[in-house]
Amino acid sequence: MRIHDIHQSFAAVGAKPRHIGRMTRAWLLGRDISIGRRQQQAEDFLPLSVREALPQLAMELDKLARLRSEHPAADGSARLLVELADGQMVESVLLPRDGLCVSSQVGCAVGCLFCMTGKSGLLRQLGSAEIVAQVALARRFRPVKKVVFMGMGEPAHNLDNVLEAIDLLGTDGGIGHKNLVFSTVGDPRVFERLPQQQVKPALALSLHSTDAELRQALLPRAPRIDPEELVELGEAYARQTGFPIQYQWTLLKGINDHQDEMDGILRLLKGKYAVMNLIPYNSLEDDAYQRPDGERIVQIVRYLHSRGVLTKVRNSAGQDIDGGCGQLRARAEQTLAR
Ligand code: SF4
């Protein structure tokens, strides 16, 4: 379902554009849709036909993203398993400091070798309404001031819906544009569309390797784009928006944690308006990939940082619960299949 469909269902019961705007804003802020911005009661501004339809409308909105289970972690984050109206499930993650990570697809076609979501392939796209519904749901638990599109799915493969959601979140949803983070493996369409948007989000690019061949092997169905070209496109967007590019690098022991890669990062990112986010892989038992030792991670950070690349270690949120993105959903599916 798209946001337009929600507006249509409000209009179908007699809501005028001003009512639609208020009801949409109230929903996005996690409030009752009968309450306006100035906390007026429904009787003060909604026509009778709309008031009568409110319980049904509220139920339909609730069905877009329902909480199936919540899994709090020691780091202050919580993974939410979210059920969509057709019974499909995605994950959202409540992040520390009022952030929320949302999903944009059920499954994903890119098939990154280190990602559980990629193993299922693409099952379906999320409509823009289902994307913002994750924010409305999360706001019932805590404030949401930042939304990152780093959950299940490749946002560039569902571009119209994701950009529609970003537009709404950056206006009626009350989220600052730099606090909306579009994350992609680097689809050229992103660099054409984002600069034209009214709401221009910050950008995160999944780099993972500076070696084009290794990168292609790790991200098998990502667009074939040279890491150097990707960084140049990112740099142009960063200069245009004033928001640094956040490069994502899942650190895999013995694969992309060696000295050649570190020198490759310096070659590509030194002097760029960028932050390097190192995400040590969260290995499970019998995993094909392993997390580098703590000592090696510290060495890498020092090496890059001291040579002029702003580098941060980001642990995958809530990794003490169920590892990376897609693992909760995979476990729920297995349970259902039993
Ligand atoms: Fe898709 Fe992201 Fe997983 Fe890669 S890491 S398969 S792009 S969800």
Q: What is the pLDDT of residues 78-97, one digit of tens each?
A: 999 999 999 999 999 999 89
Q: Is 61 in the pocket of ligand 1 (CB under 6 A)?
A: no
Tell me which residue has its CA closest to atom 7 in ligand 1: 154
| Catalytic residue annotation | 91, 325
Tell me which residue has its CA closest to atom 6 in ligand 1: 118
Kindly state the average pLDDT of the residues 260-270: 98
Ligand 1 atom closest to the CA of 116, numbered from 1: 3
**What is the pLDDT at residue 331?**
54
Mean pLDDT (the chain) is 91
Task: Determine the residue type at 272.
Answer: K
Residue 25 to residue 151: CA distance in whole angstroms: 24
Give the chain's length.
Answer: 338
Residue pair 47/297 in contact by the 8 Å Cβ criterion: no
Ligand 1 atom closest to the CA of 151, numbered from 1: 8
256: Cβ–Cβ under 8 A, 6 or more apart, which residues?
Answer: 208, 209, 214, 218, 249, 250
Q: Is 150 in the pocket of ligand 1 (CB under 6 A)?
A: no
pTM over 0.90: yes
Residue 155, pLDDT above cutoff 50: yes
| Among the listed residues 87, 55, 91, 56, the one whose alpha carbon sits nearest the alpha carbon of residue 71 | 91
Q: Is 118 in the pocket of ligand 1 (CB under 6 A)?
A: yes
Residue 45, pLDDT above cutoff 90: no
Mutate to test the pocket of ligand 1, among 93, 113, 115 (most ligand atoms within 8 A of CB): 115
Q: Which two tokens stand for residue 269?
A: 């990112």
Distance 71 CA to ligand 1 centre (A): 21
Residue pair 235/200 in contact by the 8 Å Cβ criterion: no
Residue 1 to residue 61: CA distance in whole angstroms: 10
Q: Which two tokens stand for residue 246?
A: 């956040």
Give the confidence band of 117 by pLDDT, cuts at 50, 70, 90: confident
Give the confidence band of 244 by pLDDT, cuts at 50, 70, 90: very high
Residue 285, pLDDT above cutoff 90: no
Q: Is 327 in the pocket of ligand 1 (CB under 6 A)?
A: no
Q: Is 322 in the pocket of ligand 1 (CB under 6 A)?
A: no
Residue 41, pLDDT above cutoff 90: no
Give the confidence band of 42 by pLDDT, cuts at 50, 70, 90: low
Q: Identify the three-state secondary structure at position 13.
A: coil
**What is the pLDDT at residue 327?**
56
Query: Phi, psi at residue 106, to the nearest 5°?
Result: -95, 115
Residue 281, pLDDT above cutoff 60: yes
Q: Is 167 in the pocket of ligand 1 (CB under 6 A)?
A: no
Residue 101 to residue 135: CA distance in whole angstroms: 9
Distance 214 CA to ligand 1 centre (A): 16
Residue 63, pLDDT above cutoff 70: yes
Per residue in 175-199, pLDDT tens? 999 999 999 999 999 999 999 999 9
**What is the pLDDT at residue 336?**
45
Q: Is 108 in the pocket of ligand 1 (CB under 6 A)?
A: yes
Distance 48 CA to ligand 1 centre (A): 47
Residue 322, pLDDT above cutoff 50: no
**What is the pLDDT at residue 50?**
94
Distance 326 CA to ligand 1 centre (A): 9
Residue 328, pLDDT above cutoff 60: no
Per residue in 211-226, pLDDT tens? 999 999 999 999 999 9
Beta strands at 105-107 and 122-125: parallel, antiparallel or unpaired: antiparallel
Task: Determine the residue type at 43.
Answer: E
Q: Is 173 in the pocket of ligand 1 (CB under 6 A)?
A: no
Torsional class of 234: left (φ above 0), alpha (ψ -120 to 50), beta (otherwise):
alpha
Residue pair 222/207 in contact by the 8 Å Cβ criterion: no
**What is the pLDDT at residue 106?**
96
